[in-house]
Structure 1
Amino acid sequence: MPARASDPAPITFSADLSTIDDTTLVRLPKQASERLPSRGQVAVRTSLGAHDFETVVEPDGRGGHWIRVDDTLQRAADVGPGDTAELTLEVSRDWPEPDVPDDLAAALAKAPAKIHAVWEDITPMARWEWVRWVQATSNPETRQRRVEVSISKMDNGKRRPCCFDLSSCTDPNLSKSGKLRDVS
């Protein structure tokens, strides 16, 4: 999509790839993160070295952001933990579809047509919020309850989950108290 006059200018920066446990990521420098339009998730078109991709920049719970760099992306961009990479972000109006976790996907598949209609009618951004909310716990019982509550809320016409801080880091494997853990 060509840039529009109202689109923010591309954000270019250098950052180190680091790890938390088995996850490789790039934490955006403060100046880069401050240029994003939200303290929560932001859809972006990104270049890492010469490799272009679309993703959603995640909040770190401290007013900043980070990007997951999976093995496939590391190989494509020929980078790994400890390397410094050049990145360019362009805020995108078009959100990529989230990877819906198996438990939520199964519940949606079994749900009545009314819920399918809500899921299909909401924006990809709203679908990301549902996915984040379901995945924001490491407790299996809480997670199952969130799947059930998601279906119930959509059955009642709710288009977004409520009651969680969109600027917090919600990945239970990478965060502590809503904040991205320190990287190694």
Structure 2
Amino acid sequence: MEQSDTKSRFEAELLRPAKPGTDTPWAFIVLPKDASAKLPRRGRTTVEGSINGRSFQATLEPDGQLSHWLRINEELLETAGLNIGDMATFEIMSVAQEPEPEVPPDLLEALAEAPEARVVWDDTTPIARLDWIHWITSAKQSKTRAKRISDACDMLASGKRRVCCFDPSGYYSKALSAPKAADDPIPR
């Protein structure tokens, strides 16, 4: 697939999450199905593009409906001169090469203690590493996360290069989804 084949242009309303989880305001959009379908994968994927002509690069998250959603941080909102509730014009396309994912400190520590696992980890692709990280970080409880880290090290040490039992799109497991939008787009 050529990078230009993934290019899409669309308009979307900037939604306010019902549970933002931070003091810093942020917005999100759910990509139109046709724009998402052009991307190389249903799981996390990195895109470059623009919002109202302002360039950005971001990793899209799966929405559990075979599409993606995009988190728009406060800095990008300000740079693009946008507010939650505004309509914005987006142009996106997949990046030529997926960037190296940020490895959580607890996983890094576990890999340092399991040299056989680290060798296989280092030999996998950024997409495979991203899937491992996503599987681990999607755990809802710390106990589950710790078990997944241990299991990941065991699987990697045995030569397994891809995580099993994980649906990176969230469609079959319903483990991943876009945030729920607030009823009122403007916080009061």
Give the shorter-chain TM-score range.
0.7 to 0.9
6-15 or 56-65: which moved more?
Answer: 6-15
Alignment of 1:4-43 (within 5 A): 7-8=4-5, 10-20=7-17, 21-22=19-20, 24-43=27-46
Task: Compute the displacement of 1:87 (Å).
Answer: 1.3
Partner Cα separation in structure 2 for residue 137 and residue 6 of structure 1: 32
Return the structure number with greater strand share.
1
Moved >4 Å (runs of 4+): none
Distance of aligned partners of 1:178 and 1:79 in 2 relative to their CA distance in 1, 3 Å threshold: same
CA RMSD of aligned residues (A): 2.3
Contact 1:28 1:65 in 2 (8 A): yes
Q: Which runs of 5+ in 2 are unaligned?
A: 21-25, 183-188
Partner Cα separation in structure 1 for residue 105 and residue 82 of structure 2: 30
Task: Confirm or deny that 1:52 pairs with 2:72.
Answer: no
Q: Which runs of 5+ in 1 are unaligned?
A: 170-175
Partner Cα separation in structure 2 for residue 6 and residue 141 of structure 1: 40
Partner Cα separation in structure 2 for residue 117 and residue 140 of structure 1: 26
Report Cα offsets for 1:12-64 as digits up to 9, x if no partner: 11112213211532211233223333333333222223332333222111122
SS at match of 2:170: coil
What is aligned with 1:168?
A: 170
What is aligned with 1:125?
A: 127
Task: Compute the displacement of 1:6 (Å).
Answer: 7.1
For 2:92, the aligned partner's letter is L
Distance of aligned partners of 1:6 and 1:140 in 2 relative to their CA distance in 1, 3 Å threshold: closer
Contact 1:61 1:180 in 2 (8 A): yes
Instruction: Work out which of the residue numbers 86, 104, 107 in structure 2 matches 1:101.
Output: 104
| TM-score, length of structure 1 as denominator length | 0.81
Contact 2:138 2:175 in 1 (8 A): no
Task: Compute the displacement of 1:154 (Å).
Answer: 1.0
88-97 or 137-146: which moved more?
Answer: 88-97
Partner Cα separation in structure 2 for residue 5 and residue 150 of structure 1: 32
Alignment size in residue pairs: 174
Distance of aligned partners of 1:75 and 1:127 in 2 relative to their CA distance in 1, 3 Å threshold: farther
Partner Cα separation in structure 2 for residue 91 and residue 103 of structure 1: 29
Contact 1:59 1:167 in 2 (8 A): yes
Distance of aligned partners of 1:5 and 1:180 in 2 relative to their CA distance in 1, 3 Å threshold: closer
Task: Compute the displacement of 1:130 (Å).
Answer: 0.7
Asked which structure has the greater RCO (Cα within 8 Å, sep 6+), the reply is 2
For 2:169, the aligned partner's letter is S
Task: Compute the displacement of 1:95 (Å).
Answer: 0.4
Report % sequence identity.
Answer: 35
For 1:72, the aligned partner's letter is E
Distance of aligned partners of 1:107 and 1:87 in 2 relative to their CA distance in 1, 3 Å threshold: same
| TM-score, length of structure 2 as denominator length | 0.80
Contact 2:111 2:153 in 1 (8 A): yes
